[in-house]
Amino acid sequence: MPTIDTNGITLTYDTQGDSNGKALVLIAGLGLQLISWPEAFCRELADQGFHVIRFDNRDSGLSTKLEHLGKPNLPMAVFKSMFHLPLFPGYTLQDMARDTIGLLDGLGIDKAHIVGASMGGMIAQILAADHPERVSTLTSIMSTSGRPGLPGPMPSARDALFSRPENPRNMQSVIEYFVRAYRTIGSPKYPVPDEVLREQVTRSVRRNVCPQGTARQMMAVMASGDRSPALRKISVPTLVIHGADDPLVPLACGRDTARWIPGAVLHEVEGMGHDIPPALEASLAKLIATHCKGEPGPRARRA
């Protein structure tokens, strides 16, 4: 796959659609790879005329792993965050936002529609706030403002996030672990068929697994703190999409994100959890395409 060197690291990426179309960049979530963006979802966006760009964040997929930073002590980080003590991550979400800018520079793209999911939504928010000249529109999916006092994950989702495979050295054990985790945080109304979920997970595990990289990304998320003051600065057209049944990042977090962004449009999806299931791929892609084209979306409302 093609790569670009930027910000001291190498990013792996791929593209779909007309290279002369308006660029649309997809930023993946915590520990996820570019292939976490469903193929049908990406094809729909490409069919809408966009030049769709996916990439592996630092410390995930086939992009650079910052192993020299070691494995962070997440339990201690959680303890510190509870008492508002300073955290010292190896890098920040601002660094990851600069990675995205470097990707755009390497591809010769001045401005793009930016779409981020979960942690990727946080990075996308920072891009829109700090680099508005590079962002045409913002779409933040199943993400949060990071404001203190917002509800956290449900216990089952928290356990899925912080648990480990029974045997981390056995591929089948790792696959089973991720299948259980994704099933736990997935959409209750739109469950992914077992064979589809297992194929997706197997493909991802065979491509790359980097638990320490995911932990370093989590440290960056925890250290990023409250973004609500930055969200007030966002001036680009913004769409916030959130599942009404998200057990990992509850709906209140999406509502709070939209609340702070001037003019943001909030789209709540009944029965959607913390994933983009096959049953919603086409409708969500069309919703995003409509937003990027500046057209009114279905059932959307002002935040």
Are 264 and 238 in contact by the 8 Å Cβ rule? The answer is yes
Task: Report the alpha-carbon distance of residue 236 to residue 113 in Å, rounded.
Answer: 10
Q: Please state the rounded mean pLDDT for residues 4-23.
A: 97
Compute the mean pLDDT over every residue in the chain, rounded to the nearest whole number. 95
Task: Report the alpha-carbon distance of residue 142 to residue 244 in Å, rounded.
Answer: 10
Q: What is the pLDDT of residues 273-291, one digit of tens each?
A: 999 999 999 999 999 999 9
Task: Report the alpha-carbon distance of residue 135 to residue 25 in Å, rounded.
Answer: 10
pLDDT of the residue at 300: 53
* CA dist list (Å): 161 to 117, 171, 177, 180: 16, 18, 11, 11
User: What pLDDT band is residue 297 in, cutting at 50, 70 and 90?
Assistant: low
Q: Please state the rounded mean pLDDT for residues 93-105.
A: 98
User: What pLDDT band is residue 78 in, cutting at 50, 70 and 90?
Assistant: confident
Copy the structure tokens of residue 289.
């395409």
pLDDT of the residue at 160: 84
Q: What is the pLDDT of residues 132-177, one digit of tens each?
A: 999 999 999 999 999 999 999 999 999 988 889 999 999 999 999 9
Measure CA of the first residue to CA of the last residue in the chain; give whole Å.
40
pLDDT of the residue at 47: 98
Q: Which CATH number covers residue 106? A: 3.40.50.1820
**3-state class (DSSP) for residue 157:** helix
Q: Please state the rounded mean pLDDT for residues 290-299.
A: 81
Task: Give me the amino acid identity at 108.
Answer: G
Task: Report the alpha-carbon distance of residue 35 to residue 54 in Å, rounded.
Answer: 8
Number of domain units in the chain: 1
Q: What is the pLDDT of residues 197-241, one digit of tens each?
A: 999 999 999 999 999 999 999 999 999 989 999 999 999 999 999
In terms of residue numbers, what domain contains 95?
A: 3-302
pLDDT of the residue at 303: 44
